[in-house]
Amino acid sequence: MSKQIVLVGAPVNDGAGSKGCVMGPDAYRTAGLAGTLRELGHSVTDHGNLKPVSTGGLTPPNPVLKNYDSYAGWTRALHAKATDLGASPVFPIYMGGDHSLAAGTVSGHAKAAALMNRPFFVLWLDAHSDFHTLDSTASGNLHGTPLAYACGLPGFDDLLGAPLEHIVKPENVEILGVRSIDTAERALLLSMGVGVSDMRSIDEDGISTRLKPFLDKVRDANGLLHVSLDVDFLDPEIAPAVGTTVPGGTTFREAHLVMEMLHDSGLVSSLDLVELNPFLDDRGKTARLMVELTGSLFGRRVFDRPTRSF
């Protein structure tokens, strides 16, 4: 079924410890994201790159936090954009940018879902859980906090200038492919009831077995599903362009299977593509793979992939 896809660039880089994600949106454009989606029969409109909202200057509640004012500015801009697009008959793809952008996209789509009286779910495809609070983070890198914010953990009131009204229920979140969780995050995840499928469980059960029950849960609730795909969900051998590499990630086929299952489910309503750092890439290898995975989410089948000559 043809979709009206809207591309939104979010060149966010202040949440990550290494620089380069600012080039991510243009790397997706150069790698042919729009063309790939059009070839699959979808209409594509590119809204260009967003800019952060001016906050007037915020003092971080914890001195270890890096670029807190910028985080708030981007969260406000992306929250407003996601709320607007989430209430429209379009499918938004947010091209990052580091994962701190999800504080705005996830919270905005949660608000849009609430206004439509639809349950809201999040599939977090990531090597990390990004479930630190502003007090628990030791690094101060704010790309490790967006999921905690979206789930309503305390201490984030400055991000939108007011408490978050529409939070994501922690039990409506599934983190898939995780393999690096700090002690503080682990305690929070367990206490909040977030679904976590780490790489050991994927090794033992298979990735489809871990994903299917969550998709069934979304379907049974008639929910809207936001997918947040971090480059480090993938093994660094096939996707080196990320500043937070963790060995032992998903394989090429595991990642494509996830996206194919998501397409078959018909449940996904919005997508983040985050943490692509073209400065660390090998001749665009990672950008092309992320575009291919997005193609699988939008209906490309194995039989549709042409044979390449070398």
What are the E-state strand segments in 58-180?
91-96, 120-125, 173-178
CA distances, 113 to each of 166, 192, 213, 263 (Å)? 9, 21, 21, 20
Q: Please state the length of the chain.
A: 310
Neighbours of 63 (CB within 10 A): 8
Catalytic residue numbers read 99, 126, 128, 130, 143, 230, 232, 275
Exposure b/e, 105-138, CB count within 10 A at least 16 = b: bbbbbbbbbbeeeebbbbbbbbbbbbbbbbebbe
Q: Which two tokens stand for residue 204?
A: 């033992």
Neighbours of 45 (CB within 10 A): 11
Q: Which two tokens stand for residue 217?
A: 């849960």
Per DSSP, 138 falls in state: S
The widest CA-to-CA distance across the chain, in whole angstroms, is 55
42: left (phi over 0), alpha (psi -120 to 50) or beta: beta
Identify the bridge partners of residue 220 per DSSP, sorted by sequence position.
none
What are the E-state strand segments in 193-267?
195-198, 224-230
Cβ within 8 Å of residue 155, ≥6 positions away? 61, 133, 134, 135
